[in-house]
Amino acid sequence: MTDKGIKHLTDDNFSKEIEQGVTLVDFHANWCAPCRMLAPLLEQVAKEVKGAKVAKIDIDSEQKTASHFQITSVPTLILFKNGKEVNRLLGLRNVEAIKEFIQAVM
């Protein structure tokens, strides 16, 4: 399922979705106010950054993946390249910071 250019991930499809190319994954929770503030910024990033996917995964409903990546605070943005974690950002960031974060590995 996609929502304004953002793919929604689950424990079941996570590995397949990140295995090729550059993917930014937002580990979030519905109860998290900064996560809700980040959502429209990620939609903008998804539109503006070509050559990278933007995805999100709910840490409450997809606990296996959240546990695997040791997510202890949200929002956490993890950048994957060909299935491997290359970097992560914690907390709310602006659009330019997120775009620079992605472009650093492209």
Q: pLDDT value at position 1? A: 56
Q: Report how far Cα 19 is from the mean position of its chain's Cα atoms.
A: 14
In the block, which residue shows the tokens 């959240």? 66
Please pick, among 29, 32, 90, 92, the residue that the annotation labels catalytic: 32
Residue pLDDT, tens place only, 32-52:
999 999 999 999 999 999 999
Residue 19: active-site member: no
- Greatest CA span in the chain, whole angstroms? 32
SS3 83: coil
Residue 35: active-site member: yes
Q: pLDDT value at position 2? A: 61
pTM of the model: 0.96
Domain 2-103 -> CATH class: alpha beta
Please pick, among 35, 52, 57, 102, the residue that the annotation labels catalytic: 35
H or E element, residue 9: none
